Structure formats: structure tokens, C-alpha cells
Structure 1
Amino acid sequence: MKLAVVGGGSTYTPELIDGFARLREDLPVSEIALVDPDAGRLERVAGISRRMLARAGHPARVVATGSLEEGVAGAQAVLLQLRVGGQAAREVDETLPLRCGCVGQETTGAGGLAKALRTVPVVLELAAKIPPDAWIVDFTNPVGIVTRALLDAGHRAVGLCNVAIGFQRRFAARLGVAPGRISLGHVGLNHLTWERAVHLDGRDVLPELIASHGREIADEVGLPLELITRLGAVPSYYLRYFYAHDEVVREQRTRPSRAAEVAAMEARLLELYGDPAVDTKPELLDRRGGAFYSEAAVALVASLLGDRGDVQVVNLRNAGTLPFLPGEAVVEVPARITAAGPVPLPVEPVEPLYAGLIAHVSAYETLALEAALYGGADRVADALLAHPLIGQEAIARELTGLLLEANRAYLPWTAL
């Protein structure tokens, strides 16, 4: 079995390789093609990937290439993990919105829109060269928008995020049980989700979890325990950008950006990857983000290719799952994974407190995708105006000018 990783020079990649090595029985990979235009990064990442597999006694061959066509040829699944513009562009995404009093974040708000504008056209150009029978697993942010772009273009695509598996693993640890015994009542959009139930062997134990571990959970998601107790649900930590917007802006204005922190980590990780003596995943990678990404990716690819029919949380077409959204929207919910693709499970009616925000952000995502596909300052301004973290015409117009100027090198239509 051949897998390809587009963006294979990412510092995330050894996390994937670690999962392939540990979970070889689930996903018997014989060839892993790492595709990346940055030859320097790719050489280092491919080197440590080969050493990790050799140490684990895994027989898979690692091929490093700058040619997309070569990398994806014959692949049964292609993982996308791109960052168009690198950490430098992310730094702008996280700091520029602060000038207008808005949250600076790389996947939501104005920063998330800028990332979508840069990323969607590149992803679609790459996807057009991927064999049509290969599954595309998208880990590239903003996952919901990118996945919808891929689906709209007719690709066999599923979006993947590590938020749900992170919750599953942490809840299992607190309960002292194997993760496989835990399933989630996970609902929403990518990076806009709530855990409304935590089932242990079919029994909802979320009230017990909140009662016994509420303070720890609240600290993890950065929201007041009183809110979590009142909701009877656990919001993802991305909800803090909505529920505590002004507090987050004040914090962001007084500390280095996450992009700056990650850039420093990446520099050190690349040094480690280039050391011939390093043949295990560095501990520093755990602080880079993407925890449990490898487990989630292996499980999803194994189920898509092996028709396992198990349940996983993925990003897929709404198709009536949330009746207050259009069918073509992309939602993040539990789904049964088959060789024909993911099939969403029925979802209990969503409370207005959540449904309103989900619908609001989903409408923004539709406008954001149109702006990414067709360009135009007015489309960008409309998307910003529709986003609940912005929503004011003067701010939307100011941000439009700032974002387009900062991203001019990535948006050819701005020169027209």
C-alpha cells in the first residue's frame, strides 16, 4: 500500500511516521511518498522518517520528492498538510487582526479567512493532479472550508482534525479506561464544536466527568467552570475565541504570537531531524501541536481502504445531518467510515445556543469559499462582515484592505 503526504516536509510528519510504525497492523504501508517543494526541509524530514521506521523494524520505503505527480502516482490515499506562506504568513494572520480589535487566529476570524484565500486555490490545483480513485484526507486548515472546496470539485475527500480524538483520549485517561470504550456526542463545524455526551460503553458519563474533573476540563479549554457546568457540555478550546473574545484580544496584545513560538520550535526540530543519531520522535514535537494526529490519520485511512465500518469524527457533507444547515455544507460529526466514504450518524436536535452560532459560521464559510475561488475585495469584505467575530462594516472594510495588502504575493487576482 502506498500513501503520499503532500507537505511532507512539515515538522508534523514524524508524528505521522511514528503512528505508521506503531500501528502497522492497522495500516500495512509499504511506501510513503513525502512531497514538498522545500528540498532542504524535505531531506531532513525524510531522513528522520527513514531512521524511525528502521528503528521500529518497519519495512516501508520512504520516497522524498518535489514532484507531486511522482509522489501521488499509485497512491491509494493522499494526506494534505500544507501551510501556504509558512509561519511568516501565519504570523500576519495572528497579529494583523489585532490592529482592528479582532482576535488573531490562523483558522478562524480574519486570520482564518486570509489562510483560506491563500490555501484553497493551491489545494485545488494540487488535487487536480491526484489520481481520481485515491482518497484525499485533508488536515490542511481551515479544514472545513478546504474540505468543502475539494468535495465541490468532485474529489474523494474527507476532512480530519485532532480535536475530537484529543478529547476522547483525555476523557478516557480521566476515567481510567481504554480510549476505544469512549465515544463522543461531538457536533458542529471544524474548530467550532461541543461535546454534548461522552459515552462509556454506551452510557453517557459526561455529567460525572464535569462533576469530578470540571476544573481540569475548564482549564484545558480556557473557559469558566461555571459556563461548562451550566451548558452541561464541553466546548472545544476554539470556542474561547467566541465566548471570551475581548479577553483573548487583550491577552494576544501582550504576548508573542503562537506563530513566533512555533517558528522557534520548528527551527529546533529541523536541527534534530538533521542529526543522524536521532531516530525517535523528539519530545519537543509534542509541544508543536497536532497531538494524536497520527492515530486519527491511521484510523481514518485504514477504515476508508479496509471498509471497516467503524465510527470516527470527521468533516463531511452535512446532507441533512444538521437540518438548519444547507445540505452542501461541511460539518464535523461522528460518521461510519466505509470504503464508499463516511456516512454521518444521526445527531440529536441541536440546541439554539449552539445551532445559531453554527449556522452563522457556516454562512461565513460559504462566503469565504466564494472569495477564495473567485477573488474580489467585495467578496472578502462580505465574508468578514458575515463572521460573528467581526460583523461590523467599518472593521470589515479596514481588514479587507489590510489582509489583501499583506497577502498580495499569494493572491494573483489582486493585481488585476
Structure 2
Amino acid sequence: MKLTVVGGGSTYTPELIDGFARLRDTLPIEELVLVDPAADRLELVGGLARRIFARQGHPGRIVTTADLDAGVDGADAVLLQLRVGGQAARQQDETWPLECGCVGQETTGAGGLAKALRTVPVVLDIADRVRRANPRAWIIDFTNPVGIVTRALLRAGHRAVGLCNVAIGFQRRFAGLLDVTPSEIHLDHVGLNHLTWETAVRLGGPEGEDVLPALLTGHGDAIAADLHLPRPLLDRLGVVPSYYLRYYYAHDEVVRELRTKPSRASEVARMEQQLLEMYGDPALDEKPALLARRGGAYYSEAAVDLAAALLTGSGSPYQVVNTYNDGTLPFLPDDAVIEVQAAVGPKGATPLPVTPVDPLYAGLTANVTAYEDLALDAALRGGRDRVFRALLAHPLIGQYAYAETLTDELLAHNREHLAWA
């Protein structure tokens, strides 16, 4: 089995490598290719990756290359984890929206749109080259904004599934609070990527007992603290929103916070420099503890589980993924990409039935889906008016004066990445 990671020079990659090494019986990789145009980073990450495999006795071969076509040639699955524009572009995404009093974040609001516009054309080019190399290859997208990028891939006819680590993070957290194994936790996870709610927490599987009420009663303070949301709000909702919902439920509070502290991008940039220095140490043969602060917790377990299900039919039978709606949420178009529990296997992902969604969540989900449709149109066809329409549609913006200013700012900060600008 050959698996290729595009964006293999990312400081995330050792987390992925660690999972591949530990879970080699689930996903028996014979060749792992790390593709990245940044030769200096790739050398450091590739060296550590080989040492991790060697320490854990993994027999697979690790290849590093800047040649995308060579890297994807014959690959059974290609995992995308790229960042167009790097941390410098992320720093901009997180700062210029604040000038209008709007959230500055790399996947949500105006910053999220900027990232989508930069990313979608690049990902589609990569996917076309993957298809030419192996039409049966699966593409696993971890590149944000996952919902929009996965929708672009599926619309273009690619064999693609989107992946996010939010659900597996909740699964691990809830399992710890309940003192059970993660495999015993099944989440009723509903919504869009970075816009989801845990509406039930079931023990044993899709038909298991819902212990969410007891979880909120016994551990509501801890869960609320994790989300940086007030405990009374969780009690009133009766569900657990993803931490990205804080951008909606406490927008102005978040903006005030973001204006008074260093951006997450600047923190990550400093952390990445530290990590790369560590990766260059020839004595290091395991992922460093600092990597846990970089983000992407449990990413490797989720990626291994998904790849194993798609390629071999093994792994967990039900997984939270991003895939076509196809009637699962009746208030959304069939070609919307939703993030829900799905049955996953060699034929792809089929969403499990979802209980009726409370209008409080359905309304916001429909609104953001409409924004994502306009965002994808702007990413595919370009044009200032399409950017403006997407921004005006976003519930975190919604005022024409803000949309006008943010359109100008977005274009000014991203011209080098937008062929049409």
C-alpha cells in the first residue's frame, strides 16, 4: 500500500507518522511519500519520520520529494494537509478582519473565505494530477476550510472524503470523563465542518443509550471551560457545540479578546520554529510533547481509521466525516457537504440517519451552507462581486458596509495568490 501526504513538510506530520507507526496493523503502509516544495522543512520532517518508524519497528519506506507527480504516482490514497501562503497568510487572515470589528480566524468569517479562495484552485489542480496517476485513488482532505474544499473536490468528481479532528477530540474527552474506552462512545455529531453540535453521546453504537444529559449534569463545568462558554448556556441548549461556535455565540467578546492578544498565527509560527529545531536533532525519534500544543490532536488516529476503512474495509465502521448531504439534512441541498457520522468503506461514506435538527441549529447551518455555496463560486470563478456576495451572506458579517471594506482588504492581502485578481 502506498500513501502520499501532500504538505508533508508540515510540522503536523510527525503526529501523523506516529499514528502510522503505532497503528500499522490497521493500516499496513509499505511506502509513505511526503511531498512538499519547501526542501529545508521536508528534510527535517522526513528525517524525524524515518527515525520514528525505525524506533517503532515499522518496515515501511519513507520517501520525500518536491515532485508532486512522482509523489502521487501509484498512490492508493493521498492525504492533503497544505497551507497556501503559509503562516504569513494565516497571520493576515486573523488580523485584517478585526479592523471592521469582525472575527479574524483562519477558517471562519472573512479570513476563512480568503483561505478558501487561495486553496480551492490549488487543491483541484493537485486532485486532477492524482486522478491522472491513479483514477481509483482516494483523496482525504484535512486542508481547511474542509467543508468548502471537500465540496469542490466532490463536485469535480473526485473520490474524496473530508476529515476534521473536532469529533475525535470530543470522543476522547467524553470517554475520559465517563471512564470508558473511546470505542464505546458514539457521537450524534451534526452540522458543517467547524459548525457542529453533539446532540447525543451514545454508549456502544448508534442505537446505544444517550448519556449526554448525565454528562452535562456531572461534567458541565469542565466541558464549558474547554469551550470557553458559560455553563448555563450549555444547560439551556442541552447539546455540546464545537468550540468554533464561540465565534457565533460570543462574537463581540471574541473580537475584544483577539484585539488585545497576539494572534494564534504568531504563536504557531514561533512554535513551528521551535519544532523544526527539535526535528533537526538526530537523537529525536518520537514526536515531541510541544507538538500537542500545535493543534490537530488525535489527527493521526482519525486519519488512519479513515484511510483503513476506505482502502481495506477495516477500521471503525462508523466515523465522522465530511461528505455529500444526499438528503440526510432535509433543509439543505443534496450537494451540500455536511459533517456527520457515516458508514465508511471501500465505496466511500454514507451518512447515517439524523434525528430532526432543532431550528436553532438548522437555521444557522442553512445560513452558513448558503455562504459556502457562494464562497465556492467565488473560489472557482473569481470576481470582486462574488467575493462581496459571499461576505455579505456570512452570518458573522452580514452588513453591506462591512462586506465592501472586507472585500477590498481581502483582495489587497491576497492578490499574489489569486490568478484573477
Shorter-chain TM-score category? over 0.9
Distance in 1 (alpha carbons) for counterparts of 2:126 and 2:321: 22
Distance in 2 (alpha carbons) for counterparts of 1:216 and 1:394: 40
SS across alignment from 2:420: helix
Deviation at 1:222, TM superposition (A): 1.2
Q: Residue 172 of structure 1 corresponds to which residue in structure 2? A: 175
- 1:22-171 aligned at under 5 Å gives the runs 22-130=22-130, 131-171=134-174
**Percentage identity across paired residues of the two chains:** 70
Instruction: Decide which of 300, 310, 315 is 1:304's aligned counterpart.
Output: 310
Q: Residue 199 of structure 1 corresponds to which residue in structure 2? A: 202
Q: Residue 249 of structure 1 corresponds to which residue in structure 2? A: 255
Deviation at 1:132, TM superposition (A): 1.7
Distance in 2 (alpha carbons) for counterparts of 1:121 and 1:67: 18
Amino acid at match of 2:196: T
Instruction: Decide which of 324, 327, 330 is 1:323's aligned counterpart.
Output: 330
Distance in 2 (alpha carbons) for counterparts of 1:338 and 1:137: 13
List runs of 5+ in structure 2 lacking aligned partners: none
- 1:356-367 aligned at under 5 Å gives the runs 356-367=363-374
Amino acid at match of 2:62: V
Distance in 2 (alpha carbons) for counterparts of 1:31 and 1:15: 17
Q: Residue 270 of structure 1 corresponds to which residue in structure 2? A: 276
Deviation at 1:338, TM superposition (A): 1.2
Amino acid at match of 1:157: A
Amino acid at match of 1:356: G
Distance in 1 (alpha carbons) for counterparts of 2:237 and 2:141: 31
Q: List per-residue Cα deviations over 1:226-282 (Å, max 9, x = no partner).
A: 010111100000000000000000000000000000000000000011111111000
Is residue 2:294 matched to residue 1:291?
A: no
SS across alignment from 2:376: helix
Distance in 2 (alpha carbons) for counterparts of 1:282 and 1:377: 44
Deviation at 1:12, TM superposition (A): 0.4
Distance in 1 (alpha carbons) for counterparts of 2:60 and 2:127: 24
Deviation at 1:412, TM superposition (A): 1.5
Distance in 2 (alpha carbons) for counterparts of 1:230 and 1:60: 51
Amino acid at match of 1:142: P
Q: Residue 377 of structure 2 corresponds to which residue in structure 1? A: 370
Distance in 1 (alpha carbons) for counterparts of 2:312 and 2:344: 9
Distance in 2 (alpha carbons) for counterparts of 1:146 and 1:408: 20
SS across alignment from 1:284: helix
Distance in 2 (alpha carbons) for counterparts of 1:197 and 1:10: 34
Distance in 2 (alpha carbons) for counterparts of 1:362 and 1:126: 25
Is residue 2:388 matched to residue 1:381?
A: yes
Instruction: Decide which of 222, 230, 241 is 2:236's aligned counterpart.
Output: 230
Q: List per-residue Cα deviations over 1:357-416 (Å, max 9, x = no partner).
A: 0000000000000000100000000000000000000100100001101001001211xx
Deviation at 1:200, TM superposition (A): 1.2
Aligned structure 1 segments of 4 or more residues deviating by more than 6 angstroms: none
Distance in 2 (alpha carbons) for counterparts of 1:154 and 1:374: 18
SS across alignment from 2:95: helix
Distance in 2 (alpha carbons) for counterparts of 1:281 and 1:345: 35
Amino acid at match of 1:364: Y
Is residue 2:340 matched to residue 1:337?
A: no
Is residue 2:190 matched to residue 1:187?
A: yes
Is residue 2:216 matched to residue 1:213?
A: no
The number of residues matched between the two structures is: 414
Deviation at 1:324, TM superposition (A): 0.3
